[in-house]
Structure 1
Amino acid sequence: MTKWRSMFAITAGALLVVSACSSEDEPEDAAGSTGGTFSVGTDEPDHLTANRMTGAFDEVWALYAPLTKFADTAELQYVQAESVESDDATTWTITIKDGWTWHNGEPVTAQNYADAWNATAYGPNAWGNNGQLSNIEGYDELNPTEGEPTAEELSGVEVVDERTLRVTLKTADSQFPYKLSQPGFVALPEVAFDDLDAYDEAPIGNGPFMMDGTWEHDVEIRMVRYDDYQGDDQPNADEVIFRIYSDANTAYTDAIGGQVDIVSVPQTRLRQVEQDFGDRFIPFQAVRLDWLGFPLWDERYQDIKVRQAISMAIDRDEVNDAIFAGVYTPASSFHGPNAIGGGTEGLCGEFCEFNPERANELLDESDWEGSTLELWFPGGVGYEQTFEALANQVRQNLDAIDEVELKTQPGFPAFIEALEDETVTGMFRGGWGSLYPSMQNQLSAVWASTGDARAGAGGYVEPEVDQLILAANAAPSEDEAAALYQEAEARVFEDFPAVPLFYATYNFAHSENVSNVIIGFSQIELTQVVVNE
């Protein structure tokens, strides 16, 4: 767990300046520029446009430069931003660095940010990261609950000059600079709007790597070093190839043989990964929670006792040892302790403890009818053993359940679409790796009514949770904010809309062809990878 260094001090009338690492703070890259080509195993992305995608983080952060970022420490870094300032945490002035260019040579401007944010926030576009901009003034006019939008641009985004944006929020948010590290806040070049679908096939970004040709669907995405990249994190390698796999286990096997260099370790291989890769196995303790969600639009799951019974029927320690080789930590709250303020350990109480006797009592007391449950998860990404184990636990430990049917969709995009369309008819895989190390991220993304990842909450909405999150956002100190975020978490627990399972890690392994592989909050730090001679 990374110790959090205080970054904010908000007082009335005082200028709020977010301190962050800059080029003067960071040491020179010890590895130096080494050249060469390396490859990364990935699944087929939904999009390569940062503001639209929901699962292509490595590809997007190769192509685009965010305003701010977190690497492998919980310390905010400026990338494209020169400064982010406010005197009330409501109106923010963002100055972007001079000299940055798009991969086509055009300058990156404040207008590029405004255009991208307007397109992301415009509801009819249905872009995946729309919700990340929900606290900016004018968002509601672009996303009405009924009828058509009454505007096409965010009234809270003003282009002051070529390098300056003024952003007005609906409510105070001391952690707004953290949010600028998210893909929804990336800029887009003018050319993107000529044909958005064509652009998505070969995006022109402003990041450390640029496209080499077009996206070859279900095969690979090739990128080369952008020599005019202005970031401090200059790439070591000349080229990165994202090899697309339909099965994470195949990618893992290819990494053993050196046919692909860096892969995410599927859960099915955690018991053998140290034997296969030794010190080339890299687990990173991110701010991540895995849970079982429920389709709360289905009346069978609306009784809280049904959800609590299923939770108590699962032996988390046994699953952790059998499937994850003890790498994960059984969860006892909706948010792990490895973030600002952390979650409240033990908040789940008896309902996260394995107790089949009490689980059966709860199910008998509930209005549950039937003997079959369904368990939905994305297929082909290495989750099969995990969900077979969870299904067996529920079936074996709940007397009224004779069968737990496993339902898979081909990869994450199809799975997420099924959740968003509310066609899921049973328990489902829930998971969130926070994009920045604050309780705000998961709470706002998953459990708030405006969250961009609220499909994972199964339709859960609670106005009191929304209000507590807003109060935490506007709190005058980190301690007060943390207390309110924890109160919001506790309020979610009163409704028990999901079953906390594990505080999970990001698990990667790499071949002998590469070294200096660093995993962070945005997953692989691609610029740091060294190709061995």
Structure 2
Amino acid sequence: MSASRFGFRRRRGNRGASSPRLTSRPGSRVLLAGVVGALLIVSGCGSDDGGDSGESGSEGDGAAENTGGTFSVGTDEPDHLTPHRMTGAFNEVDALFSGLVEFGDGTEPKNLHAESIESDDNIVWTITLKDGWTWHNGEPVVAEDYVDAWNATAYGPNGWANNAQLSNIEGYDELNPQDGEPEQDTLSGLEVIDDRQFQVTLKSADSQFPYKLKLPGFYALPAVAFEDPDAFDEAPIGNGPFRMDGTWEHDVQISMVRYEDYRGPQPNADGVIFKIYSDQETAYTDAVAGQVDIVSVPQTRFQQVEQDFGDRFISFQAVRLDWVGFPLWDERFQDKRLRQAISMAIDRDEINEAIFAGIYEPATSLHGANVGGGGTEGLCGEYCEFNPERANELLAESGWTDSTLELWYPGGVGYDQTFEAIANQVRQNLDAIDEVQLQTQPGFPAFIEALEEHSATGMFRGGWGSLYPTMQNQLTEVWSSMGSGRAGAGSYENPDVDALIQQADAASTLDEANELYKQAEALIMDDFPGVPLFYATYNFAHSENVSNVIVGFDEIELTDVVVNS
């Protein structure tokens, strides 16, 4: 496939030429993920070999002790291995590619390939790269690799899944016109300064931009990726801690080996194999038997996981919320007292113990404690407390007359127990409700389509796992009129919420931004468009074959894993 089909011309300069070493501008103050007045700077404090990039496991200087061995991770069949195209292969991509920043188990971005990320106004950002980083084919990773990858992702006709992640960069609208083909093929807000520095101009101020740089749409790609993108997707050449060992064996496995010239924290292991499973249950059973080393634990196994794995079970509180949504396009659901009544008819503690073995935390707002700037627990007040008597009073006040409710959710993905329990509680605790009918669709695509097309005729499953740990992500993507995840909000809109989010995005300090995001969330909770259920978690278990398994906002910290001899 030619480069011209990807909407831009790949510039071919002397990519191997060295560039002058860049330093901070005179007079600028350099902080790690800090904000000083209107100046937001994310800057590494360590050496160029990755010494600033770890809080857990391999903290060192990019040359951790190689304990050797190969470990395995159970995974679904990915859709893609190219970061900008994939929607679910986060661990595989983090093995092959390194972005500008990382999170680990902290809530602030730490520089990985970036040396500094600077802005005076939260609109124009200058990104400087650490020197010496290379692709797995030995070519240097340069600023042009970021700019070209972002252009390809933003170019609408390419249809790359993470296109919308770049929507606030100047020129995005021209690359994604509502009608017809775009007349432009590059983002006007991107400029290469030299091999180690480029500039990004946003359409509007964004105080959270450094956090977003962990999103897969903001990774770089080597020149070879644009020669034949589909062939590249089968055996990507990345810049991460592991490189491909052969090609992707579909429905079988993806094998990778340690990249010896990696400039970030070196992996402890020699290699990793992602074993592909068609269902999580089989992967879990194999992990119990020691046939696969690390797996995501399905909800159906929460009651037995500690018995099966003991302290080899890891539960990490991510920025993630499960809720019950409502079809607000349906007049029957417009009165918020109905929605509050349903909330108060649900005993979250009972469901958490009976189904989730107490692993989840019942939600009292849209964000738990583990979010940058602190969460907003307790906003829901009495409406997230189990109180059938008050629930029946609210239901009567709402004027609801139907004796039947519907509860929609995606089938075949392990949610049956949860929604059967919710349906039973609503039916048992609301006197006027004789039946709650479960409506399942065949998987997520059909379920999301029912929400987007407004064909769902009852309350429904809502869920959002933020890809970076700030309040901006869920508030913008789900509850604002600007988001891409609005299906889960049931068509909820409030212009005052939009305005507060936009003010937070433009804030000059993170503290100011967080306060405005919290005000927006308070407005949403007052409108009560959804019933908060649980602050959900990332749940993994591992065999006795490995140790030092750490889970954080980036999911499995693959470089830390030690293969036991």
Alignment equivalent of 1:177, drawn from 201, 210, 232: 210
Give the CA deviation at 1:256: 0.7
What CA distance in whole angstroms lies between the structure 1 residues aligned with 2:456 and 2:261?
46
1:153 is matched with which residue: 186, 193, 197?
186
Deviation at 1:10, TM superposition (A): 3.5
- Cα offsets for 1:425-473 (capped at 9, x unmatched): 5443322232222212222232233334334334434333222112112
Q: Give the letter aligned to residue 548 of structure 2.
A: N
Question: What corresponds to 2:235 in structure 1?
Answer: 202
C-alpha deviation, 1:376, in angstroms: 0.8
In terms of mean alpha carbon deviation, does 102-111 or 272-281 score higher?
102-111
Q: CA deviation at 1:517?
A: 0.3
SS at structure 1 position matched to 2:515: helix
State the Cα RMSD in Å. Answer: 2.6
1:479 is aligned to 511
Please state if 1:506 is matched with 2:538.
yes
Contact 2:42 2:111 in 1 (8 A): no
Residue among 36, 40, 43 paired with 1:16: 40
Question: Structure 1 residues 251 and 518, CA, compared in 2 at 3 Å: closer, same or farther?
Answer: same
Would you say the 8 A contact 1:20–1:76 is kept in 2?
no
CA–CA separation in structure 1 for the residues paired with 2:246 and 2:448: 28
The runs of 5 or more residues in structure 2 that have no matched partner are 1-30
After superposition, the C-alpha distances for 1:287-308 in whole angstroms (9 at most, x for unaligned) are 2222223344555545534433
Correspondence for 2:151: 118
After TM superposition, the structure 1 stretch with the greater mean CA deviation from structure 2, 389-398 or 253-262, is 389-398
Shift in alpha-carbon separation, 1:459–1:110, aligned structure 2, 3 A? farther
Q: Per the alignment, in what secondary structure is the counterpart of residue 285 of structure 1? A: strand
TM-score of the aligned structures, taking structure 1 as reference length: 0.90
CA deviation vs aligned residue, 1:100-121 (integer Å, no higher than 9, x gap): 2222333222122112112222
Partners of 1:348 and 1:342 lie apart in 2 by 16
Give me the whole-angstrom Cα distance separating, in 1, the residues matched to 2:441 and 2:278.
13
**Which of 287, 301, 304 is residue 269 of structure 1 equivalent to?**
301
Deviations 1:470-522 (A, max 9, x none): 21122233322121000111122233222211112211110001011010101
Q: For the Cα contact (< 8 Å) 1:311–1:351, is it kept in 2?
A: yes
Shift of 1:150: 4.4
CA contact (8 A) 1:21 1:77 kept: no
DSSP-derived class of the 2:318 partner:
coil
Deviation at 1:188, TM superposition (A): 1.7
Look up the match of 1:407: 440
Report 1:335-484 matches (<5 A). 335-364=367-396, 365-366=398-399, 369=402, 371-377=404-410, 379-380=412-413, 382-398=414-430, 399-410=432-443, 426-484=458-516
**1:286 is paired with a residue of what secondary structure?**
strand
Residues 93, 336 of structure 1: CA spacing in aligned structure 2 closer, same or farther, 3 A cutoff?
A: same
Residues 319 and 389 in structure 1, CA contact (< 8 A), matched pair in contact too: yes
Shift of 1:320: 0.9
Call closer, same or farther: CA 1:108–1:85 in 2, change over 3 Å.
same
Once the two structures are TM-superposed, the CA of residue 324 in structure 1 deviates from its matched residue by 1.6
* Closer, same or farther: CA 397–126 of 1 in aligned 2, 3 Å: farther
Q: 1:278 aligns with which of 288, 291, 310?
A: 310
CA 1:408–1:216 in structure 2 vs 1: closer, same or farther (change >3 Å)?
farther
Who is 1:319 aligned against?
351
> How many residues are matched?
524
Structure 1 counterpart SS, 2:342: helix
Q: What does residue 19 of structure 2 align with?
A: none
Question: C-alpha offsets along residues 325-353 of structure 1, whole Å, 9 cap, x if unaligned?
Answer: 22221111111122223232221123212
Cα separation, 1, equivalents of 2:395 and 2:148: 52
Contact 1:306-1:368 at 8 Å conserved across structures = no
State the distance in 2 between where 1:7 and 1:343 align.
19
Aligned partner of 1:16: which letter? L
CA distance in 2, matches of 1:186, 1:276: 38
2:77 paired residue number? 44
Alignment partner, residue 332 of structure 1: 364
Tell whether the 8 Å contact from 2:207 to 2:513 is kept in structure 1 after alignment: no
Aligned twin of 1:246: 278
From the superposition, tell whether residues 502 and 105 of structure 1 become closer, same or farther in structure 2 (CA, over 3 Å).
Answer: same
TM-score (ref. length: structure 2)? 0.85
Contact kept? 2:221, 2:238, Cα under 8 Å: yes
Counterpart residue type for residue 123 of structure 2: T
77-86 or 346-355: which moved more?
Answer: 346-355
User: Structure 1 residue 218 and structure 2 residue 251: aligned?
Assistant: yes
Deviation at 1:148, TM superposition (A): 4.5
Shift of 1:234: 0.9
User: Is contact 1:132–1:451 with CA below 8 Å preserved after alignment?
Assistant: no
1:519 maps to which of 545, 551, 558: 551
Partner in structure 2 of residue 531 of structure 1: 563
CA distance in 2, matches of 1:506, 1:491: 28
Structure 1 runs not aligned, ≥5 long: none
Equivalent residues of 2:44, 2:115 under 8 A apart:
no
Instruction: Give the stretch that moved more between structures: 455-464 or 517-526.
Output: 455-464
Would you say the 8 A contact 2:100–2:214 is kept in 1? Answer: yes
Equivalent pairs: percent with the same residue?
69
Give the direction of change, closer, same or farther, for the CA distance of 1:188–1:129 in structure 2 (3 Å limit).
same
SS in 2 for 1:119: helix
Distance 1:270 1:372, change over 3 A: same
* Corresponding letter in the other structure for 2:462: G
Q: Is the 8 A contact 1:288 1:434 kept in 2?
A: yes
Larger radius of gyration between Structure 1 and Structure 2: 2
* Selected match of 1:34 from 61, 67, 76: 67
What letter is aligned with 1:122? Answer: Y
Which stretch shifts more, 123-132 or 467-476?
Answer: 123-132
